[in-house]
């Protein structure tokens, strides 16, 4: 039995809803300590091997996880572009791949195009699985980064007005963020999206069932006039998830956060984006003090170090 499995057999990170306040309090504090070099974590993962399986492209998630593992003293194996360069191309199922890789590593970090991929992986893995992005559904470690960045700015995760702009039908970072922030009292949402990228019915139903207030708009100007946003979370239209090029073209470049929108935004508000960006946010706002997207990418390293440390520490109990 490998070192991580022995101590924490069920420590999977699958969806943002699984995080409770206690877990978030701990990870926010630990991320601060790691970021500010208050603790030495350089041997935390010594002797362990992580397996990174990325069936979809990534810059931030893959490289920040790899850097986090190395900075924690661990090592990793990986298959970049697993869709083409693993035995997936020969027809091997994800479940078979996971069974095999479970014997080569101590934990798996998985990005996959299927919505239920990480749940499938958990079923066939005897080591922890971390979801690094599953189809259009979930990106829970991005949400931890977003939550950390929001908490840095406001010192709270409650009583926030959150405006999500872009592709809410296919954007997994938005879905994960909404599910988690909806668990905190008095958060209100405003969704701004092209008509064919509106939040999916299961999401709006979830919010209604939990008495979480939200509004929907297709005009950014109108939304900004009506909603006093604390957090503006912009996302790209997810080209790779549309059923046809014409559907994508209907949504592309429809909603763009521009320099002139800055004057409508209050001084304490923050502008976030999980990146990568295409054309949905003007580059000339990058120097505005309210912009947080490069802070988010930087925080990604420390949040993922904290997550891996917590996973490892929980195994020792």
Residues 6+ apart with CB under 8 A from 99: 124, 125
Query: Which residues between 249 and 308 bind ligand CP (CB under 6 A)?
Result: 274-276
Choose between 65 and 248: whose C-beta lies nearer to ligand CP.
65
CA–CA distance, 95 with 75 (Å, rounded to integer): 24
Active site residue 236: no
Interface with ligand CP (CB under 6 A), residue from 48, 79, 125, 142: 142
**Nearest Cα to Cα of residue 24 among 190, 136, 158, 174:** 158
By CB under 6 A, tell whether 235 contacts ligand CP: no
**Known catalytic membership, residue 111:** yes
Nearer to ligand CP, 61 or 88 (CB): 61
Compose the 38-67 pattern: x for residues touching ligand CP by CB under 6 A, - for all others.
--------------------xxxx------
- Alpha-carbon distance of 141 to 144, in angstroms, equals 5
Known catalytic residue: 60? yes
Q: Which of 187, 190, 299 is nearest to 234 (CA)?
A: 190
Distance CA 152, CA 147 (A): 8
CA end-to-end span of the chain: 17
Nearer to ligand CP (CB atom), residue 59 or residue 93: 59
Site string for ligand CP, 102-141 (x = CB under 6 A): -------------------------------x-----x--
Nearer to ligand CP, 5 or 176 (CB): 176
Kindly determine how many residues on this chain lie close enough to bind ligand CP according to the rule CB under 6 A: 10
What is the chain's alpha carbon radius of gyration, rounded to the nearest angstrom? 19
Q: Are 163 and 255 a contacting pair, CB within 8 Å?
A: no
Q: Examine residue 176 and tell whether it contacts ligand CP (CB under 6 A).
A: no
61 assigned to active site: yes
Distance CA 223, CA 229 (A): 9
Chain residues binding ligand CP by CB under 6 A are: 58-61, 133, 139, 142, 274-276
Question: Which residues have a catalytic role annotated?
Answer: 60-61, 90, 111, 139
């Amino acid at each position: 039995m490998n070192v991580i499995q022995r101590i924490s057999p069920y420590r999977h990170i699958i969806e943002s809803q699984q995080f409770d306040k206690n877990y978030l309090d701990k990870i926010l504090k630990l991320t601060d300590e790691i970021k500010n070099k208050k603790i030495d974590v350089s041997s935390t993962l010594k002797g362990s091997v992580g397996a990174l399986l990325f069936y979809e492209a990534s810059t931030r998630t893959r490289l920040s996880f790899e850097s986090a593992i190395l900075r924690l003293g661990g090592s990793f194996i990986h298959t970049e572009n697993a869709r083409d360069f693993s035995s997936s191309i020969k027809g091997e199922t994800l479940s078979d791949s996971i069974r095999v890789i479970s014997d080569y590593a101590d934990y798996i970090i998985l990005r996959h195009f299927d919505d239920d991929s990480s749940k499938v992986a958990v079923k066939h893995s005897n080591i922890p699985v971390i979801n690094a992005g599953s189809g259009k559904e979930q990106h829970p470690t991005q949400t931890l980064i977003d939550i950390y960045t929001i908490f840095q700015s406001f010192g709270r995760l409650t009583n926030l007005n959150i405006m999500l702009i872009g592709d809410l039908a296919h954007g997994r970072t938005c879905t994960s963020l909404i599910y988690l922030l909806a668990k905190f009292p008095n958060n209100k949402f405003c969704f701004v999206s092209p008509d064919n990228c509106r939040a999916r019915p299961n999401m709006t139903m979830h919010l209604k069932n939990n008495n979480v207030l939200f509004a929907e708009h297709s005009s950014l100007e109108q939304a900004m006039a009506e909603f006093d946003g604390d957090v503006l979370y912009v996302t790209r239209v997810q080209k790779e998830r549309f059923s046809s090029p014409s559907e994508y073209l209907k949504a592309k470049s429809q909603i763009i956060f521009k320099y002139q929108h800055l004057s409508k935004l209050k001084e304490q508000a923050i502008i976030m984006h999980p990146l990568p960006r295409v054309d949905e946010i003007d580059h000339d706002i990058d120097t505005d003090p309210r912009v947080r997207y490069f802070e988010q990418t930087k925080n990604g390293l420390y949040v993922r170090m904290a997550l891996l440390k917590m996973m490892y520490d929980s195994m020792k109990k």
